[in-house]
Chains A and B, each alone.
Chain A
């Protein structure tokens, strides 16, 4: 149908792009992860598994990785708990105002990530909006210190930032469910509750999986929220990578951590895609 030249002209630019800006950096990172830094702060191109051994040996690395996963898991659960009911309400009960509500959910995405993170800083700080209010109504006498510079602040901020990302695929999945299936369920005597758990929820699982993957993967790799709001106890794995590539000048170790994270994320996405396919019936 199309000539060879045409096909080449269409497919070559994206291929070159991906090779130059995605595959090559990954490959470089992969190579770096086997190299080392000499005492004279020079990167030595000597191949060894030392960096990976270091990761297993030094507790702070894998402990931080697990803490990051735990933070990401909490963010995922909370954004599902927020995003699903919102998507369900919009898809099934918003009626005429559907468009308006949809836009209201989307608008925060247009606001810079940094602005939103700083906003939480203003809210949660010792002299912040929340503490001032709590003291004003005499619920607390001193500012609550755990609000800011804690894993709590990171989870809260990341949940706020990534909830629209879980909302969108769930909403799309719900919109895809033919409404006559809901009618058929009611017609066969199922109450609205039974209809939700037996028909609507199972058919929305692909959206839930996609949304959960977004929230988990995006928050696992996040470094701004822990940097701005996490404090010492809220450090995440990306902060370590950033410091290894920066002040610590240990690119090889940073690359090894990055490569482990990449492997983790890719296998998660692969798994989620497999599950999504198992649960889609269109």
Chain B
């Protein structure tokens, strides 16, 4: 650390714009169940007011990580800090975090109102305060009308809202959400994604959200932490993680992509008959090229300088509404998936064009299971 004279310290060292104040810090956390390594050396910081999503396939360890933060599971090694308070040695009921459970975990013998007021009651808040805060929380999730009803008499989406209100009413510093939308059907789910996101902005509480759905992660998060077999592959904002995937796994897990195994020699990457200029050292390299960055052009048009053009034959077409994905056989072994506006394709022989800058070099993902 360089010591800075007091006169210049404030304006010069303002790093808060880059990394806002950290709320929760997960440091070198590892977890194994017997011989089974579930998490290896996870370090992750959550900023105040941030919506951070832990994204991963089932078995990636994402729920275990959340449970370690909540206190239902203890880490084999590593630490969890909230500010200057060490969290991982405290029982769950002393932590200022609340959880929205995957299956809501509403207390079946209590009414909606009693469920929401539970945290305040066990903390022995005065009756008047419990009453107003419960009312506010129910109003926030638009469930005031159901205050006296038992949870078994309301729908899944409504139970979801109650679970949310029950957690938020305690004004935690951090809210943990364990796949809270996975039990809802697709339409309701999309609606809840937007509601949850706007609610998070409104209450300005940090959300640590766990999901296996990459689309959900993209829609809601400020940042995504992609977990694979117990290790973080990349932590970045949705746009960043989509346009600059760090590894082949990230590129494939988030959205569609074409992975091109190329050989770089003298500033030129070659993959079968395709070649394009790169700024990389010689050797084998892996590239991710998104389908929407490839365009179908008419053979008659002039090749724009700097763009790569390749002929091919359409082998498959999948309609997706506004767009469709076509698979084009370009050369020996090279099949490119291309996203085009619907109804453009239809010709068997096409010419494809992309900009070399859109082929993003990615690290080969380590072989794991």
Asked if B166 and A188 sit within 8 Å, CB to CB, the answer is yes
Can you name 29 A-B residue pairings with CB atoms under 8 Å?
A180-B102, A180-B105, A181-B105, A183-B72, A183-B99, A183-B101, A184-B99, A184-B106, A184-B107, A185-B107, A185-B118, A185-B122, A187-B71, A187-B72, A187-B93, A187-B97, A187-B167, A188-B93, A189-B93, A189-B119, A190-B93, A190-B119, A191-B122, A194-B122, A198-B118, A202-B109, A203-B109, A281-B109, A281-B152
Task: Name the 5 nearest CB pairs between A and B, nearest first.
Answer: A281-B108, A188-B119, A184-B105, A180-B105, A190-B122
Q: Which residues of A contact B (CB under 8 A)?
A: 178, 180-181, 183-192, 194, 198-199, 202-203, 279, 281-282
**CB of B163, distance to nearest CB on chain A (Å):** 9
B70 within 8 A of A: yes
Contacts of B119 in A (CB 8 A): 188-190
Taking the complex as formed, is B74 at the interface, i.e. its CB lies under 8 A from any CB of chain A?
Answer: no
Q: Indicate if B170 sits at the interface (CB-CB under 8 A).
A: yes
Instruction: Give chain B interface residues in 87-136, CB to chain A under 8 Å.
Output: 91-94, 97-99, 101-103, 105-109, 118-119, 122-123
Q: Report B108 CB to chain A, min CB distance, Å.
A: 4
- Given A194-B122, A279-B109, A281-B152, A187 and B103 touching (CB < 8 A)? no
Interchain CB contact under 8 A, A189 and B170: yes
The chain B residue sitting closest to A187, CB to CB, is B99
B150 contacts the other chain (CB 8 A): yes
Task: Report how many residues on chain B are interfacial, defined by Cβ distance under 8 Å.
Answer: 27
Shortest beta-carbon distance from B98 to chain A in Å = 6
Question: Which single residue of chain A is at the shortest CB-CB distance from B150?
Answer: A281
- Chain B residues in contact with chain A, CB under 8 A? 70-72, 91-94, 97-99, 101-103, 105-109, 118-119, 122-123, 150, 152, 166-167, 170
Report which of A184, A192, A202 forms a contact with B101, defined as CB distance below 8 A: A184
Q: In the assembled complex, which residues on chain B have CB atoms less than 8 Å from the CB atom of A185?
A: 107, 118, 122
A281 CB to nearest B CB, Å: 4
A282 to B109, CA, bound (A): 10
- B71 cross-chain contacts in A, Cβ below 8 A: 186-187
Count A-B contacts at CB 8 Å: 71
Look across to chain A and name the residue whose beta carbon is closest to the beta carbon of B102: A180
Chain B residue numbers with a CB within 8 Å of A191 are 93, 122
Residues of A within 8 A of B108 (CB): 181, 203, 281-282
Contact indicator A186/B92 (Cβ below 8 Å): yes
Find chain B residues with CB under 8 A from A178 CB. 103, 105
Q: How far is the CB of A243 from chain B (nearest CB, A)?
A: 48
